Amino acid sequence: MTLLNSKFQTVHDTAPFTQIKNADYTPAFERAIADTRMEIDAIANNAAAPTFENTLEALAFSGMSLDRISSIFFNLNSAETSDELQEIAQDIAPKLAALGNDITLNEALFKRVKAVYDQRDTRSFTPEQEMLLTKNYLSFVRNGALLNEEQKNRLREIDSSLSLLSLKFGENVLAETNNYQLHLTEAADLAGLPEGAIEAARSLAESQQLEGWIFTLDFPSYLPFVTYAENRSLRREMAIAAGKKAFQNNEFNNVDNVLQIAKLRHERALILGYDTHAHFVLEERMAQQPQRVLQFLNELLDKATTAAQREFAELTDFARDLDQLQQLEKWDAAYYSEKLKQQRFNLDDEILKPYFKLENVLNGAFEVAKRLYQLQFNEVHTIEKYHDDVQTFEVTDGDNRLVAILYTDFFPRKSKRNGAWMTSFKSQFVQNNIDQRPHISIVCNFTKPTATKPSLLTFNEVTTLFHEFGHALHGMLAQTVYPSLSGTNVYWDFVELPSQIMENWCYEKEALELFAKHYLTAEVLPMDLIEKIKESANFQEGMATLRQLSFGLLDMAWHGQDPTGITDLKAFESQQFAATQLYPDVAENAMSTSFSHIFQGGYSSGYYSYKWAEVLDADAFAYFVENGIFNREIADRFKEHILSKGGTEHPMALYKKFRGQEPNPEALLKRAGLV
């Protein structure tokens, strides 16, 4: 038995990162998989008549050790990976897929679950028990319990293949991100770049024993370059490098992986009796049907297109007047948008960044959570970490009881994938009357401190931190019995409500004054800058909406129809982007080959949920604004009906309990300036 299979002898049962060796993972997985099989067999072969307690509840608490090992391993494979971890993942993923199939295709087990489900009207359940019963029954049906043996075998093959393809897709994107760097040795090429970006690039070059400056595709390096660099040809080089990740003629090309994933998902859906993968996925979403998603996206498209085209024409005229540029290209987008924004609002990120020191912003998020939910965040140094960049916090309530453990990991490195996300190392649940509190992590990629400056965030990075912190609150404040219904285990088009609503506080004077303080003088962000932040909130909102809709429509195109006839990925993409395209196409670029949300993450047929949740968050925050952004009564309602309940009830039922009504889409359109 390895350390990973034992009860951890650590503070709050936290993961013993410093004690785990890579060699521990494979035997730990094999032992935990075997133990889980024994637990499942015991439930399936129980001689007693099936009951909720001996079947559904027993199933809910089976495989707990495996879940814990998986969360540790796969979180590290995203945030602190290595060649060795990636090899282990390739070995383990099919075994986990096989176990999942063996559980959902276990006839004896399904008979017991079905027996309880068929008798559900003869006894009373709590809403959470009813949800657990319904979700488990549907999980079996939706994953092949009613199939014949030949179909079940094909389903096993597909799931094994998909698990490997998804891993390979992510590995290729990370490799492509790491393989490119722009090495500059002429100071003239740095014209226009902020001092902080130059210093970070110099620091990176020095770390590689090189002269000059190095810029990479990591967001804190890439974004300032394409936003501020005056050298258009270098902006072009960077933008094209970012756009052709995993779309190059090399070993990291993802074209075949994308085509195979889409086709296997479609075949899987057909075997299970669904028209498409989107029909399968959306059955357990608020939207329910692909037609409703497309209607939602196209209605927004109608509202946004006129505004987007007007904004693009305005930007084109601005670039022509400023630099005699006749045709805007994608590598001009951020550069001229920033210049226009500066001219219109006399506001740019370089003015704002000194007021957004990372530590202050994080403490600001903590303070907002304290005022809303009476939470305290105390940094501790007794909890083991997987990297020196990680910070650890004990989160307590007003009575000093432990609410959660929070890990934060904010800086890019080669072992970490791009982007920002929230995850958990341990879910919240209640077993044997003991409330097991969750261990939550937020991972971002912000600019690292340099020799002369702390990490200073752009305003977009401020909202990113608050967004992921909103997800973290959803995990930390969970109060459910069963782990599978806890925290962010909710309908995918509901999961973004707690995260997106938190971004709203970043635009409010009352909240900004808590943390937006100059890192040198401690001066609070001046009132005129706060007003400009609010004024600029809708700047180019039409173009931004069109961009988000293009991703949602591409996702639905891959998954809402039969993809078996697609042979040319680029041509297919171009067709899907036609309705949302503003800039000329770049022949050597593709979106899908690095679209990790839908081909590696859990957003297939679900990217629309960002806009869907914006309707919810705009309506919900309007409720706060009407009553005060720190109103305790409204915050208590949000905590009780949204943050603590996880997936224990249908999300619309929870939302109506919080708000007293269904969400009004007008709140989003007004906030976005589209009406």
Q: How are the residues of the chain apportioned to helix, strand and coil, as percentages rounded to the nearest 5?
A: 60, 5, 30
Mean predicted lDDT score pLDDT of the chain: 96
| pLDDT score at 666 | 84
- CATH code of the domain covering residue 91: 1.20.1050.40
Distance of alpha carbon 257 from alpha carbon 161, whole angstroms: 10
Question: What number is the average pLDDT over the span 315-319?
Answer: 98
Q: Assess whether 431 and 362 both reside in one domain.
A: yes
Q: What is the CATH number of the domain that holds 479?
A: 1.10.1370.40
Question: Does 156 map to a domain?
Answer: no
* 59 part of a folded domain: yes
Q: What angle do CA 484, 486, 492 make, to 5 degrees?
A: 80
Q: Is residue 631 one of the residues assigned to a domain?
A: yes
Whether residue 96 is contained in a domain is answered as yes
Residue 390's domain comprises 354-539
Looking at the fold, whether 207 and 321 belong to one and the same domain comes out as no
Q: Do 505 and 567 share a domain, yes or no?
A: no
Q: DSSP assignment of 495-532, as one string?
A: TTHHHHHHHGGGG-HHHHHHH-B-TTT-PBPPHHHHHH
Task: Give me the pLDDT at residue 349, please.
Answer: 84
Q: Do 274 and 318 have their domain in common?
A: yes
Give the confidence band of 322 by pLDDT, cuts at 50, 70, 90: very high
Q: Is the pLDDT of residue 25 over 90?
A: yes
pLDDT tier for residue 338 given thresholds of 50, 70 and 90: very high
CA distances from 467 to 39, 443, 503 (A): 38, 11, 6
Backbone angles phi, psi at 452, to 5 degrees: -115, -10
- Pair (290, 438) in one structural domain: no
Residues 519, 380 share a domain: yes
Residue 675 has pLDDT above 80, yes or no: no
Whether residue 547 is found in the same domain as residue 532: no
Q: What is the 3-state secondary structure (H, E, C) of 637-672?
A: HHHHHHHCCCCCCCHHHHHHHHHCCCCCCHHHHHHC
Are residues 102 and 18 part of one domain?
A: yes
Quote the pLDDT of residue 673.
82
Question: b/e for 137-157, b at 16 or more Cβ within 10 A?
Answer: bebbbbbbbebeeeebeebbe
What is the predicted pLDDT for the residue at 667?
Answer: 85
> Could you read off the pLDDT of 342-391 as tens digits, one per residue?
999 988 888 999 999 999 999 999 999 999 999 999 999 999 999 999 99
Q: Is the pLDDT of residue 109 over 80?
A: yes
**Using one digit for the tens of pLDDT, what is the confidence trace for 484-533?**
999 999 998 899 999 999 999 999 999 999 999 999 999 999 999 999 99
Is 160 a member of any domain? no
pLDDT band with cut points at 50, 70 and 90 for residue 450: confident
Residue 555: pLDDT above 80?
yes
pLDDT at 244: 98
> Could you read off the pLDDT of 183-241 as tens digits, one per residue?
999 999 999 999 999 999 999 999 999 999 999 999 999 999 999 999 999 999 999 99
Is the model's pLDDT at 1 over the cut of 80? no
pLDDT at 671 over 90: no
Domain boundary among 218, 243, 268: 243
Mean pLDDT of the 142-160 span: 95
For residues 364 and 326, state if they share a domain.
no
Q: Is residue 524 domain-resident? A: yes
SS3 335: helix
Cα–Cα distance, 99 to 95 (Å, whole number) = 6
Structural domain count of the chain? 4
Q: Please state, in angstroms and rounded to a whole number, the distance separating the CA atoms of residues 68 and 565.
A: 41
| Residue 307: inside a domain | yes
Q: Do 205 and 229 fall into the same domain?
A: yes
Which of 539, 557, 573 finishes a domain?
539
Choose among 586, 666, 230, 596: nearest CA to 418.
596
Of 243, 259, 275, which closes a domain?
Answer: 243
Residues 311 and 228 in one domain: no
CA dist 365 and 373 (Å) reads 12
Per-residue pLDDT, 665: 84
Taking alpha carbons only, the member of 97, 79, 77 closest to residue 87 is 77
> Does the annotation mark 468 as catalytic?
yes
Q: How many CA atoms lie within 13 A of 62 on its CB side?
A: 23
Does residue 624 lie in a domain region?
yes
Q: Of 57, 461, 468, 508, which one is the catalytic site residue?
A: 468
- Residue 149 above 80 pLDDT? yes
Q: Are residues 521 and 588 in the same domain?
A: no
Query: For residue 455, what pLDDT is reported?
Result: 96
